[in-house]
Amino acid sequence: MTTTPQGHEDRTGTGYIRDHETHPPLDFPGYRSTALRHPKRPLQLLPHLLTEVTGPLLGEGRLGELDHDLTRQHEGEPQGQRIIVHGQVRDSDGQPVPHSLIEIWQANAGGRYRHTVDNWPCPLDPNFSGVGRTITDSDGRYRFVTVRPGAYPWKNHDNAWRPAHIHFSLFGRAFTQRLVTQMYFPGDPLFFQDPMWNSIPDEKARERMLCRFDYENTEPEWALAFEWDIVLRGREATPFESEVDDD
């Protein structure tokens, strides 16, 4: 086991450093499915070949005109409160991270995903797919227009409901360079029983997953605004998930 100057430990012997105070453990008893999916053998560091770290390039040419606006991807208007979600992606030194591909996915305003295994009795919205993407600009800034997602039930524990959230996936210059996290809304009454939220050991780190209401960027008669900055590393790092999950 090695320790970095910041106190982050390599418990795998591979050179992989994980901040155990900020990021959730790979196996968290409160989140039942991690018992089935967490690694049960020591991690192995696999070297990346040139083709894996140099391509495909994630440039603006791969984006559609309305990929960033989830409210205009269909002919009709989606149901729910229209919102703007914007912010900046920064590194551990506080410098902006430009030209990074960001993808989001979320439930609709009623709390249902457009997914074959999501069949709880809440109607799908024919005018909302719940998926968007954009690339940060030269200052590391991004902007999405969407609808505020609803809470939804899941079967992790008795009377389990997930707080409203939006999934974020951030890419570097290749698909092997990817981080996944979730953005939550302030004041949600369901935090107390959500294992994903509570799996973050440090309370201050949890708060970095909360967006803030941004009245100045609210557009009159159109959309409320929320700001959420994402920090990739360092003391102010945004907690990231250990695996991709549709929940």
**Three-class SS string for 51-67?**
HHHHCCCCCHHHCCCCC
Q: Which residue(s) pair with 144 in the sheet?
A: 85
Q: Is 48 a catalytic residue?
A: no
| DSSP assignment of 154-177 | -SSSTT-EEPSEEEEEEE-SSTTS
Catalytic residue among 86, 165, 184, 208: 165
Q: Is 165 a catalytic residue?
A: yes
Kindly state the tokens that stand for 165: 């959230």
Distance CA 51, CA 224 (A): 42
Catalytic residue among 68, 86, 148, 152: 152
Catalytic residue among 90, 133, 167, 208: 167
Instruction: Say which amino acid occupies 246.
Output: D
Catalytic residue among 82, 112, 162, 208: 162
Catalytic residue among 113, 142, 148, 208: 113
Question: Distances in Å between the alpha carbon of 38 and those of 76, 154, 157, 218?
Answer: 41, 20, 19, 41
Kindly state the tokens that stand for 123: 């109607």
Coil/strand/helix, residue 168: strand
Q: Is 113 a catalytic residue?
A: yes
Active-site annotation, residues: 113, 152, 162, 165, 167
